[in-house]
Amino acid sequence: MFLAIMGFLMIFVIIYGLLQSKVHPVAIFAIVPIVAAIICGFDFVHISAFIKTGVAKTMPVAVLFIFSIEYFSIMSEVGLFDPMVKFLVKKAGSNVILVTVATGCIATVAHLDGALASTLLITIPAMLPIYKKLHMRPVVICVIIGAAMSIMNLMPWGGPVARVGVVLNTDVNQLWHVLIPLQIIGLCLVLAFAFFMGVVEKKRGAGLNPTGKAAELDEDTSFIKKTDSKEAESLKRPKLLWFNALLTAGVIGLLCFTKIQLYAAFMIGLAIALMVNFPDAKMQAQRIKAHADAALSVPMILLASGVFLGVLSGTKMMEAMAQVMITIIPNVLGPYLHLIMGFFAVPFGMMLGTDSYFFGLMPLAIGVGKQYGIDPMNMAHAMLVGKNFGVLVTPHAATTFLACGLAGIELKDLLKFCTPYLWVLSWISLIIAILLGIIII
């Protein structure tokens, strides 16, 4: 019980500190878990082992962030996205709704590989200039991506479905076949939600000639470092447009169709981009340095969050927390435990993270549910459908910080804006799953 209390307290302090923005996330993630572990009686030998394990989990995404931000920053300054931005803005005109619906379509297609990081890396850099052109809030891109990937994560190669397959010891394709009707309707739900967000932004004054609150957005919120107009123009490489486009397509192809590490794909792409666009070694160093602030600040947070993940898992706080969350449910609600777990899946997932949720909480929930006659598959479906909508708003997930960095927004703004929308969407998806007979009451 003591471990559970400390776990909940640790998460509360971390989330509170992040939302208050009075202390840098690196300090919060590095200090709070260590203090909690010491209070729980662990010595520095054990704590260092926890940190090593946790940082090892976040290291690949931190490296990915460094090279991907450098790559997309350079692609932006050489003018790769300029033709697309001009084309979409010309076609959309002041039609903000068309832009948000297009965001939903791009995010849906981009998430075919089941990797949230690559979805963010494909969608945000492509759409962010258009959002800024139309004075739309960048956080809207994130919430639409969150909705799209939540539905696309139901694919058999998606991480959540794979984890459920392991927990249930069942074939993931068989699991997916049951979810196909929900996924089809869910895709329509995503487009409807994107349409709704376009209406919201339009009411705020977004558009080519904005007059409302949306026009007050800071133009410097992008992760791309701004330069003066003369310098910016000198960095354009219109003659290399097709080369850069093919290079970017090749990098994305590596992400989607090979098993190469995501960061390795961007390492290769960045190296080629620098050599071709800026043949001079001194110029290459200048371009890397120009984007170093954005490329290094968030990876530091990612690496520090590994301390939290390592302590949460290594101290067994996660297991203790999961047990407490199950046992506090009154017996009278036992037969409806799967609905309760599905209803609160987003906040539970935000607290525990993906692996802790599926491998810690779900097995315990299934075990308790059996006592009340709830089929394990029924419990798994409810928890899976609900949890997917919380992936992008998990405060200690590496991809959450990746989304913030790419969109140029603060974590507190992402959580405050996206969480309510995504939680409501999870409820709607649960209702649809019940109506389809996927989840049985």
Does 233 have pLDDT greater than 90?
no
- Name residue 392's amino acid: L
How high is the pLDDT of residue 191? 94
Q: Is the pLDDT of residue 317 over 80?
A: yes
Q: Is the pLDDT of residue 331 over 80?
A: no
**pLDDT category, 94, cuts 50, 70, 90?**
low
- Cα-flanking dihedrals φ and ψ of residue 267, to 5°? -60, -50
Q: What is the mean pLDDT of residues 211-215?
A: 45
**Confidence at residue 40, expressed as pLDDT on a 0 to 100 scale:** 92
User: Across residues 332-349, what is the average pLDDT?
Assistant: 88
Chain segment 11-53, per-residue pLDDT in tens: 888 878 876 767 888 898 899 999 999 999 999 999 999 999 9
| Closest C-alpha to 66, from 270, 348, 325 | 270
Closest CA to 172 of 2, 347, 377: 377
Residue range 369-374: average pLDDT?
82
Per-residue HEC secondary structure of 391-433 comes to HHHCCCCHHHHHHHHHHCCCHHHHHHHHHHHHHHHHHHHHHHH
Instruction: Measure the CA angle with vertex 290, ends 244 and 143; round to 5°.
Output: 70
Average pLDDT of the chain is: 83
Read off the pTM.
0.71
Indicate if the alpha-carbon torsion angle 348, 350, 356, 358 is positive or negative: positive
pLDDT, average across residues 199-228:
57
| Per-residue confidence band for 85, with pLDDT thresholds at 50, 70 and 90 | low
Tell me, what DSSP letter sits at residue 360? I
pLDDT digits (tens, 9 = 90+) for 97-153: 988 998 998 888 878 756 777 788 888 888 888 888 888 899 999 999 999 999 988
Q: 278: closest CA among 127, 70, 66?
A: 70
Q: Is 224's pLDDT higher than 60?
A: no
Alpha-carbon span 14 to 35, nearest angstrom: 12
Could you state, in order of their start, the residue ranges of all structural domains in the chain? 80-210+316-441
pLDDT of res. 217: 42
Instruction: For residue range 390-402, list pLDDT tens digits in order.
Output: 888 888 777 888 8
Q: How many alpha carbons lie under 13 Å from residue 162 in its C-beta half-sphere?
A: 8
Residue 381 and residue 379: Cα distance in Å, rounded?
6
